Amino acid sequence: MSGRIIVHSLEHARAAVAAAAALGVPVTLVSAPGAGAYAGPSWFKALVDAAAAAHPETAVTAVIDCGEEAGTVLAALRAGFNRVIFTGPEAARGALADIAAARGAVLERAGTPALEILGARDPAAECRFYLAEGRQAR
């Protein structure tokens, strides 16, 4: 499993992918909680694509957090995401999980450990250390 890093900006995404490339390891870029709902799947897809383009040899996976918004989950699946976090009602989870599975995608729950670099003085160094040392995510 690749290291999961929560990214809030293109700068964060570039730092995470560059660190993974330097170390020769895969990386998973996770959107901020609820970012799919307030920034939109297209924004996060463009951010991930731009960061990954600089290091095409590096395996980059994206996970978009859609919060409680079932409609945003559907939009994320249409945009091509194959890993989506949903924190909404259990009643909607089953149907969304079925739709995701039919598209070859996975509906995740929030809470999987990931490195949070928001507020880090040196996001690139944090990413390198985390990915190199397998440090426990906060």
Amino acid at 77: L
Of the candidates 27, 96, 116, which has an alpha carbon nearest to the alpha carbon of residue 85?
96
At residue 56, the pLDDT reads 97
At residue 24, the pLDDT reads 95
Amino acid at 61: T
CATH number of 3-133: 3.20.20.70
Global confidence as pTM:
0.92
Residues 6+ apart with CB under 8 A from 128: 19, 22, 23
At residue 35, the pLDDT reads 95
DSSP SS3 for 86:
coil
At residue 137, the pLDDT reads 45
Share of the chain above pLDDT 70, in %: 96
At residue 134, the pLDDT reads 66
User: In the chain, which stretches have pLDDT less than 70?
Assistant: 1, 134-138
